[in-house]
Amino acid sequence: MKLMAARFRALGEVSRLKLIFAVGNGEKNVSQLIAATGLSQANGSKQLKILTDSGIFARRKQGVYVFYSTTDSSVFKLFKV
């Protein structure tokens, strides 16, 4: 139940929704996500941590780059109208 509540809280912020949609078409590194969303580096990093901690994003480090992807594509079903 705690994980479910954390996921719904994570979906309640526009910045995090922008990041989710940016990763929707494939894994991206932090620089790509910042460019795609227009978020500042500091705010983007903060929001990425929340999405990772809530289990919505997975984080993978490759050399000096950190890549993010969604852990479960069913999150996009919530946004279909």
Task: For domain 2-79, give the CATH number.
Answer: 1.10.10.10
Would you say residue 69 has pLDDT above 70? yes
Q: How far apart are CA 14 and CA 10, in angstroms?
A: 10
DSSP helix/strand/coil, 68:
strand
The model's pTM is: 0.86
Q: Are 38 and 78 in contact (CB under 8 A)?
A: no
The mean per-residue pLDDT over the stretch 9-14 comes to: 87
pLDDT in tens, 19-49: 999 998 789 999 999 999 999 999 999 999 9
**What residues does each domain of the chain span?**
2-79
pLDDT for the residue 80: 65
